Amino acid sequence: MSRKTLTRRQFVAATAMSSAALITAPYVRGAYAAGKLSIGFWDHWVPGANKASTDLVNEWAAKEKVEVSIDYITSNNKKLELTAAAEAQAKSGHDILQMPSWWPQAYAENLEPLNDIMEPLLKQNGEVNGTVKYLGQSGGKWLATPATPGSQIKGPCSRIDLMKKHAGIDVQEMYPAGGPPKVENWTMETFLKAAEACHKAGFAFGIGLGETTDSVDTAGAIFQSFGAELVNAKGDITVKTDQVRQAMEFYKKLIAFLPPDAPSWDDASNNKWLISGRGAMILNPPSAWAVAKRDAPQVAEQCWTHGFPSGPKGRFAPYLPYFWGVWSFGKNKEAAKSLLVHLSSPSSIEKFVAVSGGYDLPAYANMSKFPTWAEEGPPKGTLFHYPDPYKHQTLSIAASPAPPKIAQQIYFQATLTKMALRFARGETMEQALAWAEGECEGFMRS
Amino acid sequence: MADVVVERGRVARATGARKGKSLRNALGRKSTVAFFLTLPLILLIALLVLYPAFYSLYLATLNKAMTKFVGLGNFTFLFKRETFWMVVQQSCIFAITAVIFKALIGFIVAHFVHNIPGKKQRKWRGMLLVPWVIPPAMSTLAWLWLFDPSYSAFNYTLSFFGVGPIPWLGDTFWARFSVILVNVWYGAPFFLIMYLAALKSVPDQLYEAAAIDGANWWQKIWHITLPMMRNIIAITTLFSLIVTFANFDIVRILTSGGPLDTTHLFATWAFQVGIQSSDIPLGACVSLFMVPILAVAAIFILRDVTKRGNEA
């Protein structure tokens, strides 16, 4: 058996030639030359809406030569929040994760700053409102970019016929399709009178008093319209103020006109209330109307989504933005940023709005007048005022302007609805306020 | 010098032989084989139970931002919270009431089933086990629809008798009643099957002897059945108490802890505090509170079992 031996001289020559060849060879760009990207998107309620995200991502991936994998994670039973918590703890997971409103602040230390992409996006798409900045920015650093899918305003969705008949309010006249709102008389007092009239007629407003987000968001907007803050922007507890007392008195009156089982409502209860034809109004994004179109078309034809009533301190509407965050421990941050820019382009945003039937709301100022909202129906124009095209209300989130890490606890412990319910169920004002103050003291932990 | 070397070699060989023999002996021992056979399970438990348990102990000693060691600071903080003491009280009410009813229903139904002859008994056993074999998250969803605020099937039925509507999940009393009811419905079959097995092991001669002595049915139960089932009752109660205390899904699905936190248990409140409010150390701390309560219960119940074992 002969064996050819390699001399030291031959080995050195071969190594040198191979190295030279490797260095001088042209860069061959393979199908996935720019690496892999793993994405966790929120699993959309609207059938077919996920496909728009998939198509947009694939379109970008083909252009950028990136291998992508997408997981659609439901927010049912807080699966999305659990995923975020697990990934932040493990410092491993998706490169991009879609997060509900409070999560960028909760995981600020684990998120890649996105100022480099947000600044051009703001120039391109217009400014974002104060709530998006409050939730998405920390110390001048953008923690995440606002995501169109999932972002929503939980304004009133009224029954045209029932409001006209029992409360004497023509919601279409107040919020005409294609025109600016005429809302001089649309105040908290009018709202309360309408709630009373509809309650007497057997069509109570479907407003929850539970611990889930719909109940808390409504309470937040009502408290804010009275200027009531449990904790102010500096982090001081401001529970025992006249504004909070006024808001509590208002809520107590309102609770008397709500369904008796409202304290046990979850986020599906108000939808069912409207779709079953038992209520004259709910405070919700147009998902309930969208389901009614399929399951109860006679109800859907009478639905009109519009703005919130104003209180002594202004007109506030509950707004819940979603965000796309890039983990700082992600493996392909540059590709992630590039994808977020693509998903935030005007054409992508328009696509998100169209496939969601107008449910998804862009955060950017120049993106609130797409044709979808004007054309959706029946009745035609029912969603025209959903994105607040005339900017006549402040889009806000409950518990703001408290520092976000405190506000998040006020929000998820449902302190606002609980204190209002305690007062309505027989506790004195001072007892209910003392309880809320104690809770807020507990939320001050750092 | 040479002697020493030989001596060393001999000693070394003897030690080696002894070692080999003792290893063979060790491997041949039943306890060693048993240990190796259970090793995969021990490793699995260490990975899935012990590691998370110690990790949650570690988490419970951190501050909210998880950047600083605070020792027992989280525990002392919890002691000052009104809601925490409410959760302790509710968990005890929930677990104790549910376990008592499960044990009582299981005991009664086990007697009924025990007295059904042959083939029919098998059918009844199968049917009565259904609530226990359905995943609780699924069956609780069905209960949620029955209690639904707008479409409650119970309220619909009660309306024919002029009763209701009852706010099943909106009022503190009814919400607690509902979550306990669902837990009893789900857990009673476990007691049934355990008690049935225990009943079958009671020798018939004891009852025959008692009958000859003129004992009535109550005396038979009190003096024969219950003493013979004592250990099973104790162990079943302990096991169920642990599982019921740690319940999450029923409360989470039915009430999410509401109204006004009056149905929260340790697990649901820990989830709300830890995951939803992003205070993982405090959430870990809440969940750890179950340990001392259950440990005390376990000591009392198991001590009694050991005592009875020794008596036997």
Beta-carbon separation of B277 and A439 below 8 A: no
**Residues of B engaging A, defined by a Cβ cutoff of 8 Å:** 63-65, 77, 81-83, 148-151, 165, 167-171, 175, 252, 255-261, 271-272, 275-280, 282
Mean pLDDT across chain B:
86
> Does the pLDDT of residue B16 top 80, yes or no?
no
> Does the pLDDT of residue A262 top 80, yes or no?
yes
Cα separation, A354 vs A375, in Å, equals: 10
List CB contacts (< 8 A) between B148 and chain A: 269, 272
List CB contacts (< 8 A) between A405 and chain B: 64, 278
List CB contacts (< 8 A) between A438 and chain B: 81-82
Token pair 């054409």 in the structure block, residue: A347
A249's tokens? 């008195």
Beta-carbon separation of A264 and B167 below 8 A: yes
Confidence (pLDDT) at B282: 94
> Does the pLDDT of residue B278 top 50, yes or no?
yes
Beta-carbon separation of A261 and B169 below 8 A: yes
Q: What percent of chain A has pLDDT over 70?
A: 92
Beta-carbon separation of A264 and B261 below 8 A: no
- In 3D, which of A285, A292, A301, A284 has the Cα closest to residue A377? A301
Residues 6+ apart with CB under 8 A from A22: none
Residue of B nearest to A435 (CA): B82
- Given pLDDT bands bounded at 50, 70 and 90, which one contains residue B297? confident
Beta-carbon separation of A264 and B169 below 8 A: yes
Among A101, A110, A261, the residue to mutate for chain B (most B Cβ within 10 A) = A261
pLDDT tens by residue, A386-417? 999 999 999 999 999 999 999 999 999 999 99
Cα separation, B78 vs B57, in Å, equals: 15
**Residues of A engaging B, defined by a Cβ cutoff of 8 Å:** 77-78, 81-82, 85, 89, 102, 106-107, 109, 209-212, 259-266, 269, 272-273, 276, 278, 405, 408-409, 412-413, 418, 421-422, 425, 435, 438-439, 442, 445-446
> Does the pLDDT of residue B84 top 90, yes or no?
yes
pLDDT tens by residue, A52-82? 999 999 999 999 989 999 999 998 878 898 8
- Given pLDDT bands bounded at 50, 70 and 90, which one contains residue A29? very low
Cα separation, A413 vs B67, in Å, equals: 23
Confidence (pLDDT) at A8: 67
- Given pLDDT bands bounded at 50, 70 and 90, which one contains residue B193? very high
**Residue among A209, A212, A264 minimizing CB distance to B175:** A264
Beta-carbon separation of B165 and A261 below 8 A: yes
- Span A123-149, mean pLDDT? 95
A336's tokens? 């992630």
Tell me the nearest-neighbour CA distance from B259 into chain A, angstroms: 6
Cα separation, A214 vs A421, in Å, equals: 15
List CB contacts (< 8 A) between A272 and chain B: 148, 150-151
Report whether A215 contacts A390 (CB < 8 A): no
- Span A215-228, mean pLDDT? 97
pLDDT tens by residue, A296-341? 999 999 999 999 999 999 999 999 999 999 999 998 999 999 999 9
B224's tokens? 């024969």
More confident residue, B17 or B146: B146
ipTM of the shown complex: 0.77
List CB contacts (< 8 A) between B252 and chain A: 77
- Given pLDDT bands bounded at 50, 70 and 90, which one contains residue A28? very low
Cα separation, B111 vs B118, in Å, equals: 14
Confidence (pLDDT) at B1: 38
Mean pLDDT across chain A:
91
Residues 6+ apart with CB under 8 A from A316: A220, A221, A224, A225, A308, A393, A394, A395, A396
- Given pLDDT bands bounded at 50, 70 and 90, which one contains residue A19? low
CA distances, A369 to each of A204, A344, A362, B112 (Å): 32, 16, 10, 70
- Span A347-363, mean pLDDT? 93
CB atoms within 10 A of CB B234: 17
Prediction pTM value:
0.82
Tell me the nearest-neighbour CA distance from B252 into chain A, angstroms: 9
Beta-carbon separation of A264 and B150 below 8 A: no
> Does the pLDDT of residue B312 top 50, yes or no?
no
List CB contacts (< 8 A) between B271 and chain A: 78
Which residue type, as a one-letter code, is found at position A432? A
Beta-carbon separation of B81 and A442 below 8 A: yes
- Given pLDDT bands bounded at 50, 70 and 90, which one contains residue B54? very high
Cα separation, A430 vs A244, in Å, equals: 11
- Given pLDDT bands bounded at 50, 70 and 90, which one contains residue B276? confident
Beta-carbon separation of A442 and B165 below 8 A: no
Confidence (pLDDT) at B57: 93
Cα separation, A118 vs A131, in Å, equals: 16
Phi, psi dihedrals of residue A327, rounded to the nearest 5°? -65, 140
List CB contacts (< 8 A) between B275 and chain A: 78, 81-82, 85
pLDDT tens by residue, A248-257? 999 999 999 9
3-state secondary structure of A319: strand
Beta-carbon separation of A261 and B167 below 8 A: yes
pLDDT tens by residue, B196-253? 999 988 888 998 999 999 989 899 989 999 999 988 998 899 889 988 998 999 999 9
> Does the pLDDT of residue B308 top 60, yes or no?
no
Beta-carbon separation of B279 and A264 below 8 A: no
